[in-house]
Amino acid sequence: MSTNSKLIILGCGHSESEVNLNNNAAVLTNEKLLLIDCGYTIKSALKNQGFKISDIDSIYISHVHGDHVFGLERVGYECLFKYKFRPTLFIKKELYKELWDNTLKGSMSKIGEGEASLETFFKVVFIENDSFYFHDIKIETLKVKHTPNKPSFGICIQNKYLYTTDTIAIPETLSKYKFDYCFHDVTLSDYNPVHATLNSLLNSYTKTTRKKMYLMSYEDNWNDYESSVNLNFKGFIKEGDTFDI
Ligand SMILES: [Zn+2]
């Protein structure tokens, strides 16, 4: 549908990673970016792909964890004071209080001009009816299963790319969507209550689905698992991998 629109993997690392950047991505269209999450490594992640903060048009936030939102302070400040614009911030209503009152307010609510709110820095758009558009690209949101009682939403881009963000295995949810490839959270540890272990992915998804599945958000010892992952899945996704939308 769109021409020259791309999905770019900005980072694929576990939150503990010492070498890989935060598990964030971006949609590029008409030379403008929609960030898919904005962790604390966002500035390096953009630089590595040849972008600057001023290339950001919009930001989607999946859930409120540092490797997904802690870059918002930097982006908010630089956009407002250095580049003189406010990016659009697409969020589900359920995230607002946790994102501003419980997370960003402490560092962002007082500026030289006085009191500031989330709207001082961003054009906040609440996502209604589980979908929104970035230019002509349709993005559907889907509820995933991450930390208990923490709202977390993955996305499906144009029925082509399903990006789970942080979640345990969610086979019932994925079965409701069409996609060419899925980018799925994984942890390489044997047990984790909030991330999908390799075994849980092997047990939850059919081989057909797994062969369309790139794994992301992995620990630094991923090399030890590469042959097994290549055998059972599409593979590990890597920083800079790019897909046509
Ligand atoms: Zn998380």
Please give the pLDDT value at position 2. Answer: 47
Going from the Cα of 55 to the center of ligand 1, the distance in angstroms, rounded, reads: 25
- What is this structure's pTM? 0.96
* Integer angstrom CA distances of residue 48 from 42, 110, 131: 10, 31, 29
| Tens-place pLDDT, residues 107-146 | 999 999 999 999 999 999 999 999 999 999 999 999 999 9
Q: What six digits make up the tokens of 195?
A: 């991330």
Going from the Cα of 213 to the center of ligand 1, the distance in angstroms, rounded, reads: 19
Please give the pLDDT value at position 3. Answer: 63
* Integer angstrom CA distances of residue 239 from 10, 22, 26, 210, 218: 5, 10, 11, 20, 12
> Which DSSP letter does residue 62 get?
-
Domain limits, the chain: 6-244
Strands 242-244 and 56-60: unpaired
| Tens-place pLDDT, residues 1-46 | 446 899 999 999 999 999 999 999 999 999 999 999 999 999 999 9
Q: Which CATH architecture has domain 6-244?
A: 4-Layer Sandwich (3.60)
| Tens-place pLDDT, residues 178-226 | 999 999 999 999 999 999 999 999 999 999 999 999 999 999 999 999 9
Going from the Cα of 65 to the center of ligand 1, the distance in angstroms, rounded, reads: 5
Going from the Cα of 198 to the center of ligand 1, the distance in angstroms, rounded, reads: 17
Going from the Cα of 131 to the center of ligand 1, the distance in angstroms, rounded, reads: 21
